Structure 1
Amino acid sequence: MATSVPDEILPSSEVSPASPISSTGQIPLEEPPKLKGRQKLLQNLQRMSSSPTLTRRGRSASTGYRRDHKASLSCVSLSSAAYSPCLGNGSTSQLYGGLNPRPATPGPSGPLEELEDNNARIRLVGTDTPNASRTVPLPIDLRPVSPRSGTPFEGDVLSTELILPDAKPARTIDFWGDMPRELQVEIFRYLTPREIVRCSAVSKMWHNMCYDGQLWCRLDAAEYYSKIPSDVLIKLITSGGPFVRDLNLRGCIQLKNKWSSDGERISDMCRNLVNLSLEGCIIDKSSMHYFLSRNPRLEYINVSGLKSVTNSAMKIIARSCPQLGTLNVSWCSNINTKGLLHVIQSCERLKDLRAGEIQGFDNEDFARALFERNTLERLIMSRTDLTDQSLKVLMHGVNPDIDVLTDRAVVPPRRFKHLDLHHCADITDAGMKSLAHNVPDLEGLQVAQCWELTDDALIDVIRTTPRLSHLELEDVDNLTNNVLVELAKSPCAQSLEHLNISYCENLGDMGMLQIMKNCPKLRSVEMDNTRVSDLTLMEASFRVRKRGYGEDIPRIGLRLVVFDCANVTWAGIKEVLSSNAYIPRARKPGTSANAIVTISQRNSDSDSVTTTTFVTPTSSPSPSPTLPAEIIQLKCFYGWQMTVDEHTKRVLRGDLNAASRLDRKWADYMMATEEAGAAGAGARRRRRRAREAERLYNADEDDDDSYGVGGISALGSRRRRAQSGGCTVM
């Protein structure tokens, strides 16, 4: 085992550089023979001393690279400043194992330390100088030797520069490029289809992403159908391919010449459609059949008005679309109830059938199929040849059991929620009465332009439909105010939202006043060309004001249509305008409150207590501005409509002062106009009608301010509760 010799005992200053030193660290007694060739080369590879103070010894036989001995090689002593960036902490045992660095020469900092591990062969010489030079002297063994003396040149020092690895440059973040594709696609979903098509011209990457099928799961061309060319539209459909679920090509007539060439390819790509709308398209018969036969998941089909849809298409739907829930074939002239019968019998999930302007509803077999299925919630049979007998079969079936006590058919109730029978001229009271007690879930009923209907049939239906919210009675001439009175008394009065009695010339204030009082959820009333007067408008204004006030911007709570009503004057219109901009006095900012103060004083003579009470006005802090919660939107005589619209616009933006000024100026203008047109029979007739309205407007009643807007009428006098002379309900 080699014996380690401390550097302190080596006479580094007296030993000649040419004196040989053995591998064990001792000076040999005899000079070894000179070697040649291979041995001389191996001798040069002998390990060198790690201390720069030791002179180079003579060359001896190389023993450091024998196969049977342990290899021994020490690293060149370098300055620690040069290697500190690379080696870090040289004393870390995890990096060097048992190899601890030691200084090469003794210095003032302290004596040199020996290696703790005898097996360690590597020593590092370093300094802790922070500003150490980046160049180190060449080791003495590698310095050039003088050819004469064989010693290195004095003062001949070669400097070498250590090139340290450059710091890694800061990573540049590509916000869009590093983003996952799923997030990129999700961002594109927030764009409109037109914007996505424009973005496709940015780059090839964006072009591929904009036509990714995931973006076109819902392809609705109804908003831009007239602005997109046929080639781009076909590319969108084919790019979506199996991703497309909702396809709406309503009005896309630019595909007229493309269906014959690309129709089969388009239908072959789109095989997972759920909703299909081709209303208004010009499509050939074969392409229509391709769509219907290759999409078994269809739940919604809208082919309204297409001439290419025939009874054969209905057979394909019955065979290929078992999950169909909504079918719209209105205005399809090549379809009748024979084709719809296949759909009714095969599609068990059908809930919505819209078959307006379809012939064959007088067929009792079709009505019986609908009765047996009993899954429909919406049935539109407007402008058809429906008869009383087919309507009875639809509601009661064929030969139903009759209850002896009530004289009603004992059948399961129908599930209809919306029933449209308008413009079915053959329907009379006999058929309409079959709806009574059989449609308890009915919410919408349209019997407009059924001229044969009277009060008896409709009253029975109204009384037995507690969920009725939409009622269309337009142009039913035989109706009277009794229908409206019964409607106000029925259970559905609490849920009624829309009522249309236009062109019912026998209806007037007697029925409409009850409707306004008893229907709190009323949102829309159409009563043009009726006998309603300003009384109905005043009652509507009062009921809308009772819906409350708040700090938010007002919204439209009730829409009234009263144009071409002879009994509606400008005074009633002004009443609505004033009510929309009205704020109760207690809610106006800056109002003062009165405080009641009581003072008690005891008399010293009679030991009596004197109490004095008086009222002291106190100022309260001004509350925040209060606005009406809901207002009335009015459609009236065209000569007044511009003023009404401007007034409504000001109220909706919260500017009640400007609305009130417009109201007052308009009232002054109307009164001046009446005074200026005093001559002529027409003027007398107008003045007489205005005086009659004023008399009714200011009629006496207990509640003085029930109709009033601040208690002042449109004509400047004190307002009181109005009454109509012939009204027996008020």
Structure 2
Amino acid sequence: MDHFDRMLPREIKLLVFRTLLEIWKGNEEEGLKKSERWIGEVGGRRELIKISRVSKSWLSLVFDGELWSTLSARSYANLPPLHPGQTTPSLSNLFLPSNVVNMATVSVHTNTLHVIASHAGPFLRSLDLRNLTSLSSSTMHKIALAASSAPLESARRSFEDGNGGHPGTLRLGLDQKEGVTRLTKLDLAGCRSFSGGAVNHLLAKSPFLRKVNLRALPVVTNATCDILYLNCPHLIALDLSRSLNVDSSGVSLLTGQASSQLLFQSSPPRPMKELRLAGLSNIDDDFMSALARGMPSLQILDLSGCKSLTDDHILAFITPDPDPSSSNPTIALTSKEMGRDPASSTIYFKRLTSLRHLNVSGCSRLTDVAFSHLAFAVPRLEFLEAAGFGTRLRDEGLTRLLATTEGIRKIDLEGASEVTDGVLGVLTPEGDEEGGTGWSLEHLVLSYCGRLTAEAMLRLVRGCRRLRVLEVDNTKISDQVVKEFVRLSTSRRILGAEIAVTDSRNLTKQAMTDLHHRHTRPRSGWRGFSALPFAYQDADLDPDLLPRGPGRSEVDLTRVVLKSFWGWGLVDETRIQVASARKKKAALAAVLASSGGDGGPSRSLTTVTGGRRLLGWRSSSGSGVVMLDGVASSSTTPPLGGGTPPSSQQQQQQGQGGQVGGAGTPGSMGNVNFSSSSHLDGFFSLYF
């Protein structure tokens, strides 16, 4: 009798399947060590799909909405197509139906997504379709329709219950009985086959979205921004990077501060915390001012690659509102703090922002004046990315900003060729007391900053106790700085420490080779299926294969990563040694397997490396001869294989060229001559 189907209530059955997912999540670390592809929650949901074939009742249980509050298909993107003539999908093409033949790079079948969305519609909270280029607009419309099964009022109450009772003020004009989705997270990055209408339809049906990723979608336009503003008032994270059909006027609609919006009503500030607008065009003062007014809670702002961004636009961003009734906080500064005449008694005001992460890399019209404007306006700043400035970035503005950001954790100044030791002086803490700029510094990129001296770098390494990553390619760094970084990172027990010194001319081969052979690893490796193409060496998986010393393990977080010119040669050298050891191990296993004949089971042998030739023999009686480079010694060993042992007279002929048996006797093998074919059964020959 099938007790599971007949006796257990449906709730218990769902609990069993949910426990299956939890078990897969708990075994994720073990799957990473084995470099398995399907691990964690992805592997668990894959197993659910497979067991849905058991029966119709199991199919109903597997696709129950309570098990599919999260639907992530990104792991199945860009899988290889079915082989020609293959009528049954392989395990890697799990979602493909069995009657599909010769499909081109389709990783997730549309019917499967539709089935899951239709069953999980009222429960679906997160939808991730990143890089699923095969999905069509009709599929998106079906998913939106299937997921829009909850009436607006019912969905609103569910959303408030899951968000601490915060109500949603929707102005989208939907009927209270009209179906909407309960999605709070949506990722469509890379879905280039969707039409603009399909994307906008799903957004209009999802009033509770909090995180949306529409990166690099050509169908996203300024109209999409307007739909997001009208229909998604709870949005806190949005990525519109590299969306070529969106400009600053469209993003202004998201702030609620556009001129067309202010004519009709005064819009409250949006709760946006993360906004990524890399490559945005047509930036002006009005846009930056609207961004600051409409999104006062903004913590992450990505404006990298914005060619139209200038210093004046940064000034507009931190200029306070002229309206005295504005609730946005400001800070009062003296003339000296503003970098002007210290004797002046004029008081200046700046807008206090909530920015923690600012990315302006690749903004070709910015200079260090922009950073001078930001001084005192971003006191919570932790991540500053300003790569690719070249000669436009100098010490004055940068030091003024860094002196007011005590919590800075990461700075990227790659290519700032005019930056000098003054910047490093500001970042170097004084004394042992906690606090101050540089105390929290963990990641510093100074590659191609040619005016920095090794002495200033040494003081920085010694003073910044939390420094974990230091990238100083093509600089004047010395052997002493590298050795000190490796020593301090080890003594401070900093996991994942890394230093990059490629193309630094003042380094010597002897010092770098010595570090590579004792304290470091040449690459920062990781475990998992995605790491297989890089062939990282992992001592925990097979310690017998790795050579002792250099390159012992590239996934050991306790060893410092040292990226240098000589380190890449060490990677190739280690790879060759491991491949050679693997071949030797396989050859030995094959010989031992073939020798387990009438003399009993095969036994392991003690092998000797170092390029020498190992000759050995074991008989069923236990006596035998082991020869190494022509030197023989008698031994008594456990039975391994059959054959006739050589006589004691033959063993004594070890001084005559290492030959066992008379010269010219038949059955010659290498430098060992066998007097009869029966001797051949008891010998083995391996080369190391």
TM tier, shorter chain? Answer: 0.5 to 0.7
The CA deviation at 1:402 is 6.3
Cα distance between partner residues in 2 of 1:198 and 1:263: 22
The CA deviation at 1:556 is 4.1
The CA deviation at 1:257 is 5.5
Contact 1:218 1:245 in 2 (8 A): yes
Q: Alpha-carbon deviations, 1:475-520, whole Å to 9, x = none?
A: 1111122211221137232210001111222224122111210111
Instruction: Give 1:291's aligned residue.
Output: 202
Instruction: Give 2:77's aligned residue.
Output: 225
Question: Judging changes above 3 Å, is the alpha-carbon distance between structure 1 residues 455 and 296 closer, same or farther for their aligned structure 2 residues?
Answer: same
Contact 1:576 1:632 in 2 (8 A): no
- Which of 186, 199, 205 matches 2:18? 186
The CA deviation at 1:577 is 3.5
The CA deviation at 1:223 is 1.1
The CA deviation at 1:175 is 9.2
Report the AA paired with residue 458 of structure 1.
L
Cα distance between partner residues in 2 of 1:503 and 1:454: 14
**After superposition, where does 1:220-299 map in structure 2 within 5 Å?**
220-226=72-78, 227-256=107-136, 258-259=138-139, 262=142, 265-266=145-146, 268-269=148-149, 271-281=181-191, 282-299=193-210
Contact 1:634 1:644 in 2 (8 A): no
SS of aligned partner of 2:134:
helix
Instruction: Give 2:64's aligned residue.
Output: 212
Instruction: Give 1:526's aligned residue.
Output: 471
- Which of 494, 499, 512 matches 1:560? 499
The two structures have a TM-score, normalised by structure 2, of: 0.58
- Which of 458, 462, 465 matches 2:402? 462
Contact 1:477 1:503 in 2 (8 A): yes
Instruction: Give 1:320's aligned residue.
Output: 231
SS of aligned partner of 1:255:
coil
Instruction: Give 1:132's aligned residue.
Output: none
Instruction: Give 2:315's aligned residue.
Output: 392
Cα distance between partner residues in 1 of 2:61 and 2:131: 27
Question: Judging changes above 3 Å, is the alpha-carbon distance between structure 1 residues 328 and 419 closer, same or farther for their aligned structure 2 residues?
Answer: same
The count of residues paired between Structure 1 and Structure 2 equals 428
**After superposition, where does 1:370-409 map in structure 2 within 5 Å?**
370-373=291-294, 374-384=296-306, 385-397=308-320, 403-404=334-335, 406-407=337-338, 409=348
Cα distance between partner residues in 2 of 1:199 and 1:256: 28
SS of aligned partner of 2:418:
coil
Report the AA paired with residue 237 of structure 1.
A
Report the AA paired with residue 348 of structure 1.
R
Instruction: Give 2:486's aligned residue.
Output: 541
SS of aligned partner of 2:121:
helix
**After superposition, where does 1:87-106 map in structure 2 within 5 Å?**
none
Question: Judging changes above 3 Å, is the alpha-carbon distance between structure 1 residues 294 and 569 closer, same or farther for their aligned structure 2 residues?
Answer: same
Cα distance between partner residues in 2 of 1:636 and 1:473: 20
2:512 pairs with 1:573? yes
- Which of 338, 345, 357 matches 2:249? 338
Instruction: Give 1:421's aligned residue.
Output: 360
Contact 1:441 1:465 in 2 (8 A): yes
Contact 1:188 1:215 in 2 (8 A): no
SS of aligned partner of 2:415:
coil
Q: Alpha-carbon deviations, 1:385-419, whole Å to 9, x = none?
A: 11111101101246797644644732342111000
Instruction: Give 2:282's aligned residue.
Output: 360
Query: Where does the alignment leave 5 or more consecutive residues of structure 2 unmatched?
Result: 25-43, 79-106, 150-179, 257-266, 323-329, 339-346, 431-435, 522-555, 579-609, 611-688
Question: Judging changes above 3 Å, is the alpha-carbon distance between structure 1 residues 479 and 404 closer, same or farther for their aligned structure 2 residues?
Answer: closer
Cα distance between partner residues in 2 of 1:644 and 1:573: 16
Report the AA paired with residue 406 of structure 2.
P
Cα distance between partner residues in 1 of 2:197 and 2:440: 47
The CA deviation at 1:631 is 2.6
The CA deviation at 1:575 is 4.1
**After superposition, where does 1:115-154 map in structure 2 within 5 Å?**
none
SS of aligned partner of 2:497:
strand
Cα distance between partner residues in 1 of 2:473 and 2:13: 58
Q: CA RMSD in A?
A: 2.9
SS of aligned partner of 2:245:
coil
Question: Judging changes above 3 Å, is the alpha-carbon distance between structure 1 residues 376 and 566 closer, same or farther for their aligned structure 2 residues?
Answer: same
SS of aligned partner of 2:288:
helix
2:339 pairs with 1:411? no
SS of aligned partner of 1:560:
strand
Question: Judging changes above 3 Å, is the alpha-carbon distance between structure 1 residues 525 and 646 closer, same or farther for their aligned structure 2 residues?
Answer: farther
SS of aligned partner of 2:447:
coil
Instruction: Give 1:96's aligned residue.
Output: none
Cα distance between partner residues in 2 of 1:196 and 1:172: 19
The CA deviation at 1:447 is 0.8
Cα distance between partner residues in 2 of 1:522 and 1:641: 27
Question: Judging changes above 3 Å, is the alpha-carbon distance between structure 1 residues 639 and 428 closer, same or farther for their aligned structure 2 residues?
Answer: closer
The CA deviation at 1:369 is 1.4
Contact 1:537 1:572 in 2 (8 A): no
Cα distance between partner residues in 2 of 1:629 and 1:262: 46
Contact 1:538 1:575 in 2 (8 A): no
Question: Judging changes above 3 Å, is the alpha-carbon distance between structure 1 residues 502 and 258 closer, same or farther for their aligned structure 2 residues?
Answer: same
Question: Judging changes above 3 Å, is the alpha-carbon distance between structure 1 residues 187 and 177 closer, same or farther for their aligned structure 2 residues?
Answer: farther
Report the AA paired with residue 181 of structure 1.
K
Report the AA paired with residue 360 of structure 1.
N
2:144 pairs with 1:199? no
Larger Rg: 1
SS of aligned partner of 1:499:
strand
2:220 pairs with 1:309? yes
Stretch deviating more after TM superposition (432-441 or 189-198) = 189-198
The CA deviation at 1:640 is 4.6
Stretch deviating more after TM superposition (381-390 or 407-416) = 407-416
Instruction: Give 1:512's aligned residue.
Output: 457
Question: Judging changes above 3 Å, is the alpha-carbon distance between structure 1 residues 486 and 645 closer, same or farther for their aligned structure 2 residues?
Answer: farther
**After superposition, where does 1:585-596 map in structure 2 within 5 Å?**
none
Contact 1:267 1:290 in 2 (8 A): no
Task: Compare relative contact order (CA 8 Å, sep 6+) and give the higher one, 1 or 2.
Answer: 2
Report the AA paired with residue 276 of structure 1.
L
Cα distance between partner residues in 2 of 1:581 and 1:332: 42
SS of aligned partner of 1:634:
strand
Q: In percent, how many aligned pairs have the same letter?
A: 27
SS of aligned partner of 2:142:
helix
The CA deviation at 1:541 is 2.2
The CA deviation at 1:457 is 1.1
Report the AA paired with residue 369 of structure 1.
A
Cα distance between partner residues in 2 of 1:320 and 1:173: 48
SS of aligned partner of 2:349:
coil
Contact 2:516 2:562 in 1 (8 A): no
SS of aligned partner of 1:489:
coil
Report the AA paired with residue 75 of structure 2.
E
Stretch deviating more after TM superposition (195-204 or 263-272) = 263-272
Contact 2:141 2:202 in 1 (8 A): no
Query: Where does the alignment leave 5 or more consecutive residues of structure 1 unmatched?
Result: 1-170, 549-554, 583-627, 651-664, 666-730
Report the AA paired with residue 110 of structure 2.
S
Question: Judging changes above 3 Å, is the alpha-carbon distance between structure 1 residues 264 and 393 closer, same or farther for their aligned structure 2 residues?
Answer: same
Contact 2:387 2:413 in 1 (8 A): yes
SS of aligned partner of 1:449:
coil
The two structures have a TM-score, normalised by structure 1, of: 0.55
Contact 2:426 2:437 in 1 (8 A): no
Cα distance between partner residues in 2 of 1:509 and 1:243: 58
